[in-house]
Amino acid sequence: MEPRFVIAYWLLPAAPARKFFRETIGRLAAEFHAPVFEPHLTLGIGSDSVDEARRRLHDAAAGPIELPAAGVHFTAQYTRTLFVRFDSSPPLEKLRDSLGLASGDALDPHVSLLYQKMPAKNQARIAAAIRLPFRIVWFDALQVVRCRLPVATPADVASWEAVASQRLPT
């Protein structure tokens, strides 16, 4: 598949969850020779237009968003090797609507912890060992990132470029 560039819209966790995610991502990346990345919840993707993304960000309608954690999960998908799943909420869906991202595609809210191909038994062992120090996570900022799809290698992750960000007003 030929790579294509898109704009990804991310919701960023607030402290102290941000610190936990960064430390966990860093530790797992070092242990499994995987890429380090900023903890984020992907709200959706749009066309590769930085100007359009900045307009959407400016028009975003939301304050900080609170989401309940639904545990540590894993899949065979590279960008969901290991992740914390969250329950959705009306404020999260409203934010996606205000960004023009809720056009029929289902959202599986999550923050990834590791991007790496590995056997499911290893993923299950690692997931079982992670203890979340929170039940609820606040998200207080948006970031717009230009990236290429598919994301399948550390080089793909390294190519990400943040092009805009903003705090959600309280």
Domain of residue 99 covers 4-167
pTM of the predicted structure, to 2 decimals: 0.95
Residue 68 backbone dihedrals phi, psi, to 5 degrees: -80, 135
pLDDT band, very low/low/confident/very high, at 88 (cuts 50, 70, 90)? very high
At 123-142, the pLDDT tens digits run 999 999 999 999 999 999 99
User: How many structural domains comprise the chain?
Assistant: 1
CATH number for the domain harbouring residue 133: 3.90.1140.10
**Could you tell me where the DSSP H helices lie in 33-141?**
50-59, 90-98, 120-129
